[in-house]
């Protein structure tokens, strides 16, 4: 047995040609350079997009207007209130006035205050009062509100006004100034009871005989008396007849007695004893318009 230590096998150096080594280095470096170039190009595109977006998002100076509530209902001759809010947009600042278009005939609008001064980024409110006339048409009408400051004009805020016909009641009674006999005429002093808080313009008054109530003796004797035994003459005064709140009679309003309604008992050839002591029941009616 040989106890001598083993010698390591001699190393043999392998020579790599220089051109091949350079080629390997180039292959390793090119992808890194390409990646860096690709990253720079992407960053440049993203920055340009941000600048464009900023330019497109720029808001010009102006005024924005809103109306609240969008709709109101009102009786003819009455008023309705809205709130108009004007807001500064894009740093606008200056005095602002308001204009309303599209209201129905006989209606008018006013703002209180009539103008406001807006600071940049602020909002101001005004009360818009729309008043109607007794002749304003009964209908739903669309209108618009806008704000102005020099050449600067806001958006148009839409609104709607519904006008209703005024329907209120009043009472009519009457007093016959004396008894009736064949061939006589008695005036009827009408009394109008206006329970409303405002005056009314009465445009028509009428009287009719609803019933003739004979005495028991006339009924027992079968003696007739009917509406044919009487004649009615209606009120001939000037219309409209303005009646203030409360009870107002024709005499109290200074209407000439010659224009009052009148009842005449006709003098006929027929026996009219059945009408002696008879009671006439009268029905009164009238129409008008509230003020």
| Distance, CA of 265 to CA of 173 (rounded, Å) | 20
The pLDDT assigned to 13 comes to 52
Strands 157-164 and 140-149: antiparallel
The pLDDT assigned to 224 comes to 96
Q: What is the pLDDT of residues 51-74, one digit of tens each?
A: 333 345 677 999 999 999 999 999
- What count of residues does the chain have? 291
Domain boundaries, the chain: 62-164, 171-290
Share of the chain above pLDDT 90, in %: 72
| Distance, CA of 283 to CA of 86 (rounded, Å) | 58
| Distance, CA of 268 to CA of 181 (rounded, Å) | 11
| Distance, CA of 235 to CA of 260 (rounded, Å) | 5
Q: Topology of domain 62-164, per CATH?
A: Immunoglobulin-like (2.60.40)
The pLDDT assigned to 15 comes to 54
71 with 162: CB under 8 angstroms?
yes
Task: Report which of 124, 67, 68 is spatially closest to residue 95, judged by C-alpha positions.
Answer: 124
pLDDT tens per residue, the chain (291 residues)?
A: 455 555 555 544 545 454 444 434 344 444 443 434 444 444 433 333 333 333 456 779 999 999 999 999 998 999 999 999 999 999 999 999 999 999 999 999 999 999 999 999 999 999 999 999 988 999 999 999 999 999 999 999 999 999 998 777 899 999 999 999 999 999 999 999 998 878 889 999 999 999 999 999 999 999 999 999 999 999 999 999 999 999 999 999 999 999 999 999 999 999 999 999 999 999 999 988 766
> Residue 264 has which token pair?
């005449």
Handedness of CA 195, 196, 197, 199 (dihedral sign): negative
* pTM, 2 dp: 0.48
Q: What is the pLDDT of residues 119-167, one digit of tens each?
A: 999 999 999 999 999 889 999 999 999 999 999 999 999 999 999 987 7
């Amino acid at each position: 047995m040989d106890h001598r230590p083993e010698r390591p096998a001699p190393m043999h150096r392998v020579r790599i040609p220089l051109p091949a080594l350079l080629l390997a280095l180039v292959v390793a470096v090119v992808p890194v350079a390409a990646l860096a170039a690709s990253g720079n190009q992407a960053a440049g595109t993203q920055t340009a997009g941000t600048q464009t977006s900023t330019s497109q998002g720029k808001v010009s100076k102006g005024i924005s207007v809103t109306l609240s509530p969008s709709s109101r209902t009102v009786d003819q001759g009455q008023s309705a209130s809205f709130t108009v809010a004007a807001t500064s947009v894009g740093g606008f600042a200056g005095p602002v006035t308001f204009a309303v278009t599209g209201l129905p005939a006989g209606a008018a609008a006013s703002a209180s205050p009539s103008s406001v001064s807006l600071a940049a980024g602020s909002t101001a409110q005004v009360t818009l009062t729309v008043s109607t006339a007794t002749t304003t048409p009964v209908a739903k009408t669309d209108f618009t509100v806008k704000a102005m400051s020099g050449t600067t004009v806001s958006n148009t805020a839409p609104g709607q006004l519904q006008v209703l016909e005024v329907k209120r009641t009043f009472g009519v009674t009457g007093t016959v100034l004396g008894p009736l006999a064949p061939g006589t005429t008695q005036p009827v002093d009408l009394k109008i009871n206006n329970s409303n808080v405002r005056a009314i313009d009465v445009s028509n008054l009428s009287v009719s005989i609803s019933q003739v109530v004979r005495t028991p003796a006339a009924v027992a004797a079968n003696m007739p008396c009917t509406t044919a035994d009487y004649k009615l003459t209606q009120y001939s005064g000037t219309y409209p007849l303005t009646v203030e709140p409360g009870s107002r009679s024709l005499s109290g309003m200074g209407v000439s007695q010659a224009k009052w309604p009148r009842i005449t008992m006709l003098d006929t050839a027929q026996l009219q004893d059945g009408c002696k002591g008879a009671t006439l029941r009268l029905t009164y009616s009238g129409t008008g318009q509230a003020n």
